[in-house]
Structure 1
């Protein structure tokens, strides 16, 4: 393109960016760079402010808290953050959002659970105007660096972006290579083979389970839905029809039951991801199915007994399809906050290229930004080997939503979580799924009416 380039007015920039945002984009990176070049960015403009941040307890929150001192030095903004276990954090956030007076300015959000609830309640700020505002967004923020997939996952039906995606969690099979080698067992080639291999490696006399996964009601549902994906279907059709008592859903639940009953550790019915993680990293389980975002402590000598022995396996194919369950988290600003602009500085810092690269380097999860995956030096220096990164990238290519994208996701997990728990206790799988489907059907129907 040739000719004179005229710098548009600030008002025109924001108007144009907003229009593009509504169409599914945030605005031309070139135009935004032009706007931001007009004046140096002021990180100190909200110095003296204190932000309250509600976090989910996980390795990514540990990473964020480790960066708070640097953020305060950069901005003069103090951070008061709290990590709360996943299910309790979701409950706390929803209760406080509904009250209209949340105690936090910024919150972590599970997009696979809370996305549509946030939209329905209008509880979070649309971040598009912040991204387009040159006085609030640093010139090196580079929104275009966020992957199209994660952004699409975070974007609401009307085009608004009330969270920025922070990471995408692909479900993988962690496995203990030492235990596999000792028995001369190969990594399973199919979902059915997971059960076969688990049975060969199960050794209760030595305190070793062949397989471990979440057994706790609600938390256990993504394990089941991951297996159902192997039948080429989800638990709720795109048209909103429940497929939770079909032969495919029953097959997935039967496999879940078999693995946990025949090859799981004692007490697994009460396990969430953290109990599974502890069991696996203490060398007491041969395989663990869960999100790749829980890898960090596995290679930490101060916490793990299996450093250097961990295998990272792509979810094997099912009878009809090959998918890896996909989940994602985001971060956003509470609409009830009185410190929204300072909160946006916090979000920028915590989702910067450097912080996202640190997430990948430490094994805390798969970043939503694209640039970390192109950093060969970062990958080479990581304590996580080539198999980890190969597994992550291969899983991304076969990723599919691991939970139905509906408003009452929590209720879905509660109802079907009880069915799975009952099945582990000896109840008939098909009968439990039929009962749960009948219980949940009116809840889903009602949620779609309002």
Structure 2
């Protein structure tokens, strides 16, 4: 490595013209190797789908993209270490807006995209508003979303048809149908969803919003408002009264397994998980699964539609212009269309509204996602730095509701704990 670094330094000194200038233009007129930018990414379907397209980008711009990918937790650790050391080695980076984004932005790890977007004019107009909102801090845009999710209602088409029912459009209807169709004696439950303390929070969030509540407002915790308590009681009540045994230990794999084994009528979770329910090699009810938008609550249609992944430019990169060319290309309609054809749920409105963009997905699923996007909330957990601690506090109330305990008392205790987290930030 030392030898390579030394040789690189010599070549750089002798090459003529600044590295920044050449990287930014992608100029390869001298016949030397193309400029190279480094993308640090996750071992994710988006990364695998973009790799075969990179030769087209290089041909178009003269810029090569070196991809270093890691498992999610490794990615967070790797990028944190490099950024904290003020390394110039990260030109573009894939990140989780709701897990790492706020911390990284606060620490100054990301370059602002405002000037680039302003020069381009309208370059962000096509993004789903809720997805774009998750990569902003006030007026500062520090990333662009590349993978989105949406909380949808999975349901058994055959069971509803036999009962003469249509998919529920409201939470009241969901509760009524879950009660009517639940048959525990024969191993069929009306509803299943995440019940495990922390994992449950992201899917509970849509129930919270639909009840007119939120996790916080103006820096103040709001877990104990009447609307929030009503949401906790509703979600916990569904799982307590119509859910399967062991709900408190269920994250998405366990809840999905109950549904795909034919043991539940309704299931709410992320749209990105749909192939687990529709793939006959994974699901015993693959040909019986339907999808619907998240039901409206007392406060109307409000649903979590967060971006799972976004892309940013490293603040210390010496190749920011070249990195921007890549970011702009990777989030263009042409590329997003290509990626979405491979099952990557993108963040562009026009792609979701085009026949090509939804051809890969079940028709009712794409319709549910499009409808959800109209009423989207850009986060499915508190948009704070210490999100892990916050999820634990919120999860305590969810668990209390599932167990039939005093929800109001649990919400009051957790609200105090959550406020302490906010005060520390």
Question: Under TM normalisation by the shorter chain, which class is it?
Answer: 0.7 to 0.9
Query: 1:230 and 1:441, CA in 2 relative to 1: closer, same or farther beyond 3 A?
Result: same
Structure 2 CA distance, aligned partners of 1:45 and 1:435? 64
Question: How many Å separate the matches in 2 of 1:42 and 1:132?
Answer: 27
* CA RMSD in angstroms, aligned pairs only: 3.7
Question: 1:205 Cα deviation (Å)?
Answer: 4.8
Q: Distance in 2 between matches of 1:90 and 1:222?
A: 21
- CA change 1:436–1:147 in 2 (3 A) is closer
How many Å separate the matches in 1 of 2:394 and 2:75?
Answer: 18
User: Which residue does 2:160 correspond to in 1?
Assistant: 180
Instruction: Tell me if 1:257 matches 2:215.
Output: no
CA distance in 1 between partners of 2:286 and 2:200 (Å) = 27
Q: Which has the higher contact order (CA 8 A, sep 6+)?
A: 2
Deviations 1:356-400 (CA, angstroms, capped at 9, x unpaired): 2245445543x2223313423444x43421x22322222122223
Question: 5+ residue gaps in structure 2?
Answer: 1-24, 59-63
- What pairs with 1:312-351 in structure 2 (closer than 5 Å)? 312-328=291-307, 329-335=309-315, 344=324, 347-351=327-331
Q: Contact (CA 8 Å) 1:236, 1:244: kept in 2 or not?
A: yes
Consecutive unaligned residues of structure 1, counting only runs of 5 or more, are: 1-38, 135-140
TM-score by length of 1: 0.73
Residue 216 of structure 1 deviates from its aligned partner by: 2.3
Q: Which residue of 66, 70, 74 corresponds with 1:82?
A: 70
Greater alpha carbon shift after TM alignment, 117-126 vs 45-54:
45-54
Provide the rounded CA distance (Å) in 2 between the counterparts of 1:90 and 1:440.
Answer: 27
1:106 to partner: Cα distance: 4.4
State the distance in 2 between where 1:176 and 1:41 align.
56
Residue 97 (structure 2) aligned to one of 105, 111, 114: 111
Q: Give 1:415's aligned residue.
A: 393
Given that residues 188 and 194 in structure 1 are in contact (C-alpha distance below 8 angstroms), is that contact kept between their aligned partners in structure 2?
A: yes
Instruction: Give the distance between the partners of 2:82 and 2:224, measured in 1 at CA.
Output: 34
Instruction: Using the TM superposition, give the Cα deviation of residue 46 of structure 1 relative to its aligned residue in structure 2, in angstroms.
Output: 7.0
Tell whether 2:127 aligns with 1:146.
yes
Segment drifting more, 350-359 vs 42-51: 42-51
TM alignment of 1:51-450, pairs within 5 A? 51=38, 53-55=40-42, 61-71=44-54, 74-75=57-58, 76-84=64-72, 88=73, 92=77, 96=81, 99-100=84-85, 106-128=92-114, 144-157=125-138, 159-237=139-217, 239-328=218-307, 329-335=309-315, 344=324, 347-365=327-345, 367-379=346-358, 381-385=359-363, 387-401=364-378, 402-447=380-425
Q: Which moved more, 1:323-332 or 1:347-356?
A: 347-356
* 304 and 151 in structure 1: CA distance in 2 versus 1, 3 angstrom threshold: same
Alpha-carbon spacing, 1:281–1:81, altered in 2? closer, same or farther (3 Å): farther
